[in-house]
Amino acid sequence: MFLDVTTLLIQQTSPEAGQTNPHEIAVNLKQFLLVLAVSLGVATLPQILSWLHRIPYTLLLVIVGLGLAFVDIRLVELSPGLILSIFLPPLLFEAAWNLQWSDLKRDFLPICLYAIGGVVITVAGVAIGLNQFANVALPIALLIGACLSATDPVSVTALFRELGADKRLRTVMEGESLFNDGMAVVAFSALSAMAYGASELTPQSILLEFVQVVGIGIGIGSTIGFGISYITQRFDLPLVEQSLTLVSAYGVYLVAEDLGGSGVIAVVATGLILGNFGSRIGMSPRTRVIVTAFWEFLSFFVNSIVFLLIGDQIHFTSLGKNFGIIAVTVGMMFLTRAIAIYGLGWFSNRLTKIRIPIKEQTVLWWGGVRGSVSIALALSVSRSLGDRDAIIAAVFGAVLFTLLVQGLSIQPLMTALKLLGSQPLRQQYAEAIARHMALSRVLQHLDEVELRPNIEPEIYRDSKALIQEELRHLQIEINRFEVESSAIRDWITQQLQNELIAIEADTYADLVRTGSLNQELSSFLYKRFQDEKKSSE
């Protein structure tokens, strides 16, 4: 197993009897509630204070955490086991659940190139730069490169959803982030063994370990994902099905890690299968909405805690002592990211018909932030390694730089490159439609209660006149959106096509659950759904 995921933060026992100390439980509970109160409070500030709305709540949490660290207020002691086994599975699952397979399949080649080739380029480039310019021993430099080789799916998903990035750009970035974690863990494990002098690296051993880790992860994740998909066909219990997805997210991670595979890859595989297959075939529309809302809340909940703790764990004294190493690390990280994105992007454009334009490649380069995965890998380095403090300082410094500098500047970059597209218009259009629907229901209610006694007829007439006037203005605004923006028209058409496909898939699923269709037809139904979805794009 690559990382010791059993050292959880709240597991503390008394040395005498080996039993949990009640006082320590109370202290840990108070710490947890404090972290929860601060994180959720800060996360809601952008919704209350309009001038903070331009800052994604994840970055605001990091800034607040830094402020606490500056005055030396430590909420908790962050452990790698806490991040990897408690926080990471739900965040990965939620991202995979919402990632459509048709979109992923369309950009599968560039995603694989970035996820695999990008890790190799980053590890090699950062290691060479630190060895040559900062006099860091090569094994230690390789470990730092491995820690920083994976773009963080937590950070990337949160940032791009907050900024309303183009769907395809989000798919490539999220797909790379989800898949390169497994590659980074393989590299970190192999390089750790070399740093400790336990083994020598050979291409054969690295390839064998990679195939084993990825293969076990995909196998376990696929088995659990398809198994739950077929189980949920037999009943329609939203709370039970919601609980099954939660158990599967944690279960596949722990099982895959125990069997020597990648828990990250296993969770991603399970999330993709349940989100694209199980939720369509085995869940009713109502259940699917409930489960999706649950995972959106859980992602927000965990994100709020993780990003606050990342900032709170910074030790400024250690960063100052290792400033030279951090500077070289950040510089090489930017350089290797540029080589990977532009070089592999050029290669991908030569091999596929669907090209990634230079503007989008620029956002992919600048949006390659690092976060909790990098920190967890750095913290998992054994204390017996003499340069452990330098590794942690370099990784924390680089992560902090990417979150603050890149995270805060990615929106102006996308605006300058005109890549936010019609997202602001879509939001305005959706708000106008929602208000029109709400006022129409109000008007309908007035018609139904117009004969209610003890209310003057003039009140009904005045209220109806005001609402009708507001509806008229809203309709004019909606018509203007539809006439002036071709992007809005295309989006409306796509939304309708998606609704029609979803209704067809739900009908098939209902027929399977009631026994009108043989359950062995599930694979056919899934293929039918995917073919129709593809034809609509």
User: 99 CB contacts (<8 Å, ≥6 apart)?
Assistant: 171, 174, 175, 178, 271, 272, 275
Partnered with residue 440 across adjacent β-strands are none
pLDDT digits (tens, 9 = 90+) for 226-256: 999 989 888 888 889 999 999 999 999 999 9
The reported pLDDT for the residue numbered 12 is 36
- Residue whose C-alpha is closest to residue 64's, from 403, 361, 351, 368: 403
Considering only residues 460 and 119, tell me which one the structure prediction assigns the higher pLDDT. 119
Q: Looking up tokens 């994105």, which residue turns up?
A: 341
Q: Above 90 in pLDDT, residue 13?
A: no
Q: Could you give phi then psi for residue 20, rounded to 5 degrees?
A: -65, 135
Considering only residues 468 and 155, tell me which one the structure prediction assigns the higher pLDDT. 468
Percent of the chain with pLDDT over 70: 78
- Residue whose C-alpha is closest to residue 64's, from 34, 46, 39, 31: 39
Residue 473 tokens, joined: 């203005």
**Residue 20 three-state SS:** strand
Q: Which amino acid is at 395?
A: V
The reported pLDDT for the residue numbered 10 is 36
The reported pLDDT for the residue numbered 190 is 79
Q: Above 50 in pLDDT, residue 91?
A: yes
Q: Above 70 in pLDDT, residue 378?
A: yes
pLDDT digits (tens, 9 = 90+) for 284-331: 878 888 898 899 889 888 888 888 888 888 888 889 999 999 999 999
Burial 79-95 (b: 16+ CB within 10 A, else e): bbbbbbbbbbbbbbbbb
The answer to whether residues 67 and 167 touch, using CB atoms and an 8 Å cutoff, is no
pLDDT tier, 1 (very low <50, low <70, confident <90, very high otherwise): very low
Cα dist from 430 to 305, 362, 437, 488, whole Å: 31, 30, 11, 10
CA distance 197 to 192: 9
Mean pLDDT of 457-477: 83
